[in-house]
Structure 1
Amino acid sequence: MAHPVDEHVGKRIRHRRWMVGMTQQQLASKVGIKFQQIQKYETGTNRVSASRLWNIANALNVGVSFFFEGLEEEGAVERADQLGAADMIADKEALDLVRAYYGIPELQRRRLFDLTRALADSA
């Protein structure tokens, strides 16, 4: 059975890859491995070594800490699974929304995020 942290990191790899519109094959080529290994990382079947995670982060243009975001909160991995976050991002409309969100300059994106969080908290 995969460790929840390995599953979380794998999901973050997959989501970031989707956000930038990259295939498993393209990511594998940039990292210098076969796409089947990317599949194993994304499902949490195989653990990602530190050096490989560094290479993946560079290929996806994020810092290594990106893959661990959300783990600080106790039970974050389990809650994400319960909410079906992986299924939600697989929806084309949701994926388009996420890509558009990351197309917004960082300062405005942070403000939009804060507004969205405030609206969700007051609902």
Structure 2
Amino acid sequence: MNHEYNRFDLYPYYDALSNTTVINKNGIEFYIWLKLPDDTCNQLSLFEVIDFNYASGPKNIDFSTKLFRENHRPWIRLESSMLNLDVGYHIFRFRFVDIDLDDYISFYFSYVVQDDNPDKPYMYMTRDEVIS
């Protein structure tokens, strides 16, 4: 198992867009790990997960049985079945309540899913190399 491949960071929205992760859908393990920013992990409690990649609009994801976080540590373990593994771009919002300030904060995980069998063939040689 490639542990580094299944560990990702959560970011504020604009940082998540520039830190998009590429995932091969055939290489994802049963669990993946998401890391909160170090300076925020102690006082946050997760209360909502939203997948933004639906034509009908954002979808609230039931995370009650597929997500685990121990004693407000920075790592969140979730079952990969919770993710949308259709080929393409995806973004999830993890919304927390700051129990010290009674305020909300959101972090995002954006990723692109690739497949070993893309619909579109890729050209690796120039036309001259193919002809000769």
Q: TM-score range by the shorter chain?
A: under 0.3
> Normalising to structure 1: TM-score of the pair?
0.28
The structure in which a higher percent of residues are strand is 2
Structure with more helix by fraction? 1
Structure with greater contact order relative to length (CA < 8 Å, sep ≥ 6): 2
